[in-house]
Every structure is written in C-alpha cells, then in structure tokens.
Amino acid sequence: MATAVTSSSAGVTTKASSSTANFIRGQEPVPSLLNHYRGHKGPITSLCFHPNLQTLFSSSCDGYIMCWNYRKETRALRFEGHCGPVNEVNLSRYGDLMLSASDDGTARVWVPIINGQYISVKAHNGAVRTACFNPVDSTIFATGGNDKTVKLWAVQAAKMKSGVTKFKSHDFIRSYRSHKNWIQSVRFSPDGNLLCSASDDKTVKIFDIREKGECIASLNCDLGSPLYAEFNPCGSSYIGVASSQNAFLMYDVRERKLIQSYVNLFNGPVTSFTFHPSGDFAVCVSEETKIKILDLIEGRPIFTLYGPRKGIGATAFNANGNLFATGGKDEEVLIWEPTLLPYESAKDDEEQTEKENIGGSNVDSSSSTTTSEEKSSKSATNSKSKVDQTPAIVKSNSKNVSLDSLSRTSSATSTTPSSASSTS
C-alpha cells in the first residue's frame, strides 16, 4: 500500500550553484547541504534517486519505503507491505518499477505510484539483504540473502491502454552458490552482462549472467569483509569495495588485483559508498558522523563533510551527479550539492580557455610553438588510464566542512497526511 504521509523538511541556503561552468578542477567550491527530510522511524538502510524525476527513495528498518520530492514542498509517499526491515530499494532504468529487499524473506517489485500494483517474491530462506535491477534490461533483477546465495529473476509487466501498469508474471532464472557466508550486496555492471556480489566470506564474486556456470572471477579482500561492492560507471573493468576494516578499495577485474587502497578514512568500517556518474569521484560513509569525498583520478580525499548526528549507512548520487544523498541511524535523509567537476569536463574547459586566450591576444611564433607543446603534453597526460594516474595506497588530508557552518532556514515545513491504497 502506498500512503501520502506527513513529513518534515528543512531547506538549507546553498553556498554554491550546481553549475560547474566557472569551476577549476581542484578548486571546486565547498559542497553544500540542500535539504534534509524526516519521516522514517528507524535507521535508513538505502537510497536511490529516480533517473528522470526529482524524487528520492529511501528504505528503512521501520519496514517502509519513502519517496521524497526534493525540488518542491509536497507530501512524501510511503510504501507499506513488508513485514520486517527493508534493507534496500532500487529503481529500474526508467524509474517505472521499484524493487525492495526485506528481512521478511521477500523481494517486492512495485509500480512506484499511488494505487500502483506490486508483486511479492519469496526470494531466499532468511533475510533478503540486497536487490537490484539490471541497468540495461529492467525485466531482470538480482537478489542476495542470508542463505549465502545470489539469485537471478525475471519479471514481466505491461502497460494497459488505461495507462496502468500490471504484472504478468515473475520467473526464477538461476542461483549462484559460490559464497560461504551472508551476501551483503549485489550490483550489475553498466552493460548489464556481469554481476558482482559482496559477502561476509571476505570475497567479491563476479558472474556472467549470459552463462549458467559459477563465478568467473573472485576477488579476495584482505582488509576485512566487503560491506558493499559496485562497478565503476565508466565500465566493467573496475569495482569499488567498502571494507569493514576502515578502507575503500578499487580492484581491476581483468587483472584480479587491488589497484587503489584508501585506508584510515574513518575510525570504523566504511559502511557504503557511491560513485559519481563520471566515475571520477566516490562518496564514502561510515558509522561516524563524517562523509568523505574522494577524487579517484588524483587518488586523494578532497572533502570531509560533517552533519549527520549518528552513523551513516547509505548514500547515492543522482543521474547527472549534481546531487548526492546520505542517510543513517539518525533517521534523516540529507541531500547535498557537491559541485564536483569531472575530469573530462575540466579538460574541455581548459582547452576552451586556451583557445580563447590564443584567439584574444597577439602571440609570436615562439609562444605559439610553446602553447602547442603544452597542449600536446596535456593531451598525453589526459590519455593515461585511471590506473596509471592513481597511486596504490592513499593516506592524505582533505578539506573539512562542518554542517554548522552552512546556513539553515529558520523553520521546517510540514504537510497534512492523506492515504491511498495499492493492489497486489
């Protein structure tokens, strides 16, 4: 059942625009807090932005999923149906379907609107800890649970002439039984062909869903158990891992080796992370009240944000990377404006600036030659791979930003509740 509920939100006067037109890479403005929302009555377990709309979905140990509109003041939508904590929420490629995983042993596929249908799948023997859609083919989704298995499913839905989406069927495809302990996360590669799973057995397994066999690669995590693993958005060659021993790790899948290790980011486990859509940055969160933003090209932390009142367990970027969200034990959803400049955008801006400078001034042949050599040097530098540009082990300081230094609006807004039902 979907219900519109009373929620509270407080906007924060942002210090920086989301536009990056005038930014210089390495000198980006301090990230700003855009909004925060209250409505859950338990720790927040996961976050997911809608790919097209200005909405954010959150799951919680209170057994509910909430949908927040972060651009206008409106009532939050609450999805009810699970009989236990909801461990993850995920949206399909176009946002027309929503997937959830719960301790009640089921995964549910929803039409994320008021009066939208849903189907419930008895996915595992025990809690379902994680679930996600294939980013290319939204009829396929994966789940992982406490029964140590990863499962692949297919769901068929059709849009009727009335515009209402109805489910036709759901089918089990196959199980992967390579792990020896609980599954913490499952994620597809950007092309939808590979699936990675992180487990308490201290391994990350990679499966080719086009084949029926077992895993095609296994990454051993020496720095504790992997709490979350995800493919880098730039392709299927790199996987990021959040470690229980206070580290964020980057692996080369082809070489099956560790290529980056960001250690001592916090005083406890890195509970989760999210990649910027460009793949150039990562936001890491932990049981502390700190957020770390990493520059994966330069290989260093660039910002430390303070704000949440308790430990953070979830984070997510939106589709274009101009916003990210965090949530955790304080039961609040925070939306941030990071003002990050991806590497390719910075390169284009530098080249455009050079062209304008050359076109707007008189230069002799010697200076022209020098400029050409500089551009060639920059081009050669830019063509290096991410592996070549980043060190293996990173321990560096970053800019610290306190939430108290950001100006809040004086009052919160609230809405009156109304209800609507959902059919199954």
CA 397 to chain centre: 24
pLDDT of residue 206: 96
pLDDT of residue 158: 67
pLDDT of residue 329: 95
The CATH classification number of 2-346+386-408 equals 2.130.10.10
pLDDT of residue 74: 85
pLDDT of residue 212: 81
pLDDT of residue 9: 47
pLDDT of residue 21: 38
pLDDT of residue 164: 64
Supply the pTM of this predicted model.
0.79
158-176: pLDDT as tens digits: 666 556 677 777 789 999 9
Rg (the chain; Cα; Å): 22
109-160: pLDDT as tens digits: 999 988 888 899 998 999 999 999 999 999 999 999 999 999 999 998 766 6
Q: What residues does each domain of the chain span?
A: 2-346+386-408
pLDDT of residue 345: 58
DSSP per position, 248-314: EEEEETTTTEEEEEEE-SSSS-EEEEEE-TTSSEEEEEESSSEEEEEETTTTEEEEEEE--SS-EEE
pLDDT of residue 318: 97
Parts of the chain with a pLDDT under 70: 1-28, 158-164, 344-424
pLDDT of residue 377: 38
pLDDT of residue 320: 93
Helix (H) or strand (E) holding 100: strand 98-102
